């Protein structure tokens, strides 16, 4: 909460103090006093003003961010800061780091029916519902189902005789939870982390500076990906120690570097990259390049990539 101080001309109040997570009894007393506002966590400032306060109250954060930016690299429209330097930055929220310390803050009360839409149940609350108070996104069929949020991305989802549920299907996984317990998904995330499961880190569909890939099938010693390369984009010049790759072009034209050779591969054509071969893939055309990649080998992890050249500054 934020306690309001003296009123200012033109609206707003000086900030007297921030109060972190008071008990329910104390929070009720704040509301009764009428001089406290709930902190929505939305701040507005000029960049130079914030940097001045950050340098004053958190000089270590300021200097680390400066160095991380100075040692960063440009990647198309992005500036990628130095990851090792940035990782040493103290983990502090803007509230703790600056806003609770500065003398230059003002609070403006706001009543806008605002919600941060911080959960799937919040999406159900604000969404447009059908006559059974269901919200359905994607390929969904229901029978005798009420007060439920159903979200399907890649396959048919059906529900029969249920109510007050959140059902979310993505390419990665399926979530089924009671609307009142949906925040407990963090417990599942911790279990994924504890079991060292790949779902904790990796998505099935992954975006890269050059485009994206979707891991559509995998098994012992093989993996199949659908790869999309943007016009004019190029994957890094690379090599794999443990896998070979077979590329089949579905649409567009691929420029392939395969060892000492460089050649074009068009629709319905394919090429083979042996284990240990230095190679690269590029889209020289004006339309997206779509291809199927079949990997085979003893180890198919994404960390089996040795990059020799990369136009996006990746190591």
Q: What is the pLDDT of residue 44?
A: 93
pLDDT(246) > 80: yes
pLDDT(115) > 90: no
147: in domain = yes
The answer on 305 and 270 residing in a single domain is: yes
Q: What is the pLDDT of residue 113?
A: 75
192: in domain = no
Q: What is the pLDDT of residue 202?
A: 85
113: in domain = no
Give the tens place of pLDDT for each residue, 203-237: 899 999 999 999 999 999 999 999 999 999 999 99
Lowest mean pLDDT, pick from 199-203, 265-269, 285-289: 199-203
Give backbone dihedrals phi and psi of 180, rounded to 5 degrees, phi first. -80, -10
Q: Which of 56, 78, 107 is the last residue of a domain?
A: 107
Q: What is the pLDDT of residue 97?
A: 93
- Domain extent for 91: 47-107
Q: What is the pLDDT of residue 122?
A: 93
77: in domain = yes
114: in domain = no
pLDDT(116) > 80: no
pLDDT(311) > 90: no
Q: What is the pLDDT of residue 117?
A: 84
The answer on 127 and 93 residing in a single domain is: no
The answer on 301 and 216 residing in a single domain is: yes
314: in domain = no
Q: How confident is the model at residue 42 (pLDDT cuts 50, 70, 90)?
A: confident
Mean pLDDT over each residue of the chain, to the nearest integer: 93
Q: What is the pLDDT of residue 313?
A: 75
Mean pLDDT of 247-260: 97
The answer on 101 and 8 residing in a single domain is: no
The answer on 54 and 29 residing in a single domain is: no
pTM score of the predicted model: 0.68
Q: What is the pLDDT of residue 111?
A: 81
254: in domain = yes
Q: What is the pLDDT of residue 293?
A: 98
pLDDT(306) > 90: yes
Lowest mean pLDDT, pick from 28-32, 171-175, 210-214: 28-32
Domains of the chain: total: 4
pLDDT(11) > 90: no
Q: Which of 81, 107, 133 is the last residue of a domain?
A: 107
227: in domain = yes
pLDDT(76) > 90: no
Mean pLDDT of 30-41: 86
């Amino acid at each position: 909460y934020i306690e309001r101080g003296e009123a200012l001309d033109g609206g707003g109040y000086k900030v007297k103090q921030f109060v972190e997570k008071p008990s329910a009894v104390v929070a009720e007393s704040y509301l009764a006093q009428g001089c406290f506002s709930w902190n929505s966590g939305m701040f507005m400032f000029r960049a130079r003003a914030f940097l001045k306060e950050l340098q004053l109250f958190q000089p270590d954060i300021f200097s680390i961010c400066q160095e991380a930016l100075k040692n960063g690299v440009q990647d198309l429209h992005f500036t990628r800061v130095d990851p090792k330097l940035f990782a040493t930055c103290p983990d502090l929220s803007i509230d703790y780091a600056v806003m609770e310390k500065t003398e230059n803050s003002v609070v403006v009360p706001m009543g806008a029916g605002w919600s941060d839409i911080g959960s799937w149940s919040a999406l159900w609350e604000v969404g447009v519902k059908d006559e059974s108070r269901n919200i359905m996104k994607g390929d969904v069929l229901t029978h005798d189902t009420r007060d439920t949020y159903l979200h399907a991305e890649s396959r048919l989802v059906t529900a029969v005789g249920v109510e007050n549920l959140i059902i979310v299907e993505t390419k990665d996984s399926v979530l089924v939870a009671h609307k009142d317990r949906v925040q407990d998904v963090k417990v599942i995330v911790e279990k994924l982390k504890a079991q060292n499961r790949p779902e904790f880190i990796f998505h099935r569909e992954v975006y890269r500076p050059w485009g994206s890939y979707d891991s559509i099938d995998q098994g012992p010693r093989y993996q199949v990906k659908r790869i999309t390369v943007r016009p004019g984009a190029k994957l890094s010049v690379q090599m794999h120690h443990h896998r070979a790759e077979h590329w089949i072009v579905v649409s567009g034209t691929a420029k392939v570097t395969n060892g000492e050779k460089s050649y074009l591969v068009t629709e319905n054509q394919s090429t083979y990259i042996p284990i240990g071969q230095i190679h690269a893939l590029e889209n020289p055309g004006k339309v997206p390049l779509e291809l199927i990649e079949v990997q085979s080998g003893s180890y198919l992890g994404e960390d089996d990539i040795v990059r020799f050249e990369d136009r996006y500054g990746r190591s």
